[in-house]
Chains A and B, each alone.
Chain A
């Protein structure tokens, strides 16, 4: 068995606005199905309830993110993804659903900056409204990062975790690193 590595070997870049860092490998499982039926299986697999629209629920190293009206993204330690898929398949047997381990199909970045630094980095690349009154901790936003799709969420400290397809990891990292350079515009009030 070959060693699993991240797309960019933990690349890191920083600017006055924020630090961009490739996150270590993380287990990710996509679950699609009828939300009215999958709640019990999600609780069994990762110990979390069902998120509301656009919400992400986090508990230590596990999380459940709302991706669309019939799709969830479950996050767990890298080595646990296979076991989570097995648990979901057992719990949902007979139902119409899809559970796939997508850990190796994704790249994951951490964007941390003081004040609203991470917000500004993303606002330079995404058409999303990132003002604190619209986007805040606990919410997942799927949008466009320049030319590629991406999803991100913010934790209570204001740092952002962003995921995109692994095949565009270098492109996404270079975008973020470039956006983190240069001084703050100060458009967003410090959150």
Chain B
């Protein structure tokens, strides 16, 4: 069971209170982009074994989207932050590096 802290209301949410939203920090490829780039945006996901950036919505709570970083193997949560953050904040990256020394960065 995952427990994520909602950065908006500060509640430690049980997974069942949340709705998953897939991989975070995807760059949208809109009209004018190449077919290959649009296909990659639609279908290609990192799917790592280890550190993963995800979108979650506090669906049964404040209703806000937020981002979370967790390990897909151990379910360890490295941190959560607001959805209006284009890149992982420095303190989140530091928290990941402290726990996963060999982490190669976001794929």
A→B interface (CB under 8 Å)? 53-54, 67-69, 71, 127-129, 141-144, 149
Bound-state Cα–Cα, A144 to B15, Å = 11
* Residue numbers in A under 8 Å from B94 (CB-CB): none
> How many A-B Cβ pairs are below 8 Å?
39
Closest Cβ of chain B: how far from A173's Cβ, in Å?
19
B→A interface (CB under 8 Å)? 8-14, 16-17, 59-64
Q: Assuming A68-B62, A69-B64, is B9 touching A54 (CB within 8 A)?
A: yes
Contact among B9, B13, B16 for A68, CB-based, below 8 A: B9
Cβ-defined contact, A142 with B8, below 8 A: no
Cβ-defined contact, B17 with A68, below 8 A: no
Nearest B residue to A145 by beta-carbon distance? B60
Cβ-defined contact, A68 with B63, below 8 A: yes
Bound-state Cα–Cα, A142 to B57, Å = 13
Contact among B8, B9, B17, B62 for A144, CB-based, below 8 A: B17
Closest Cβ of chain B: how far from A167's Cβ, in Å?
16
Cβ-defined contact, A142 with B61, below 8 A: yes
Q: Assuming A68-B63, A149-B60, is B11 touching A144 (CB within 8 A)?
A: no
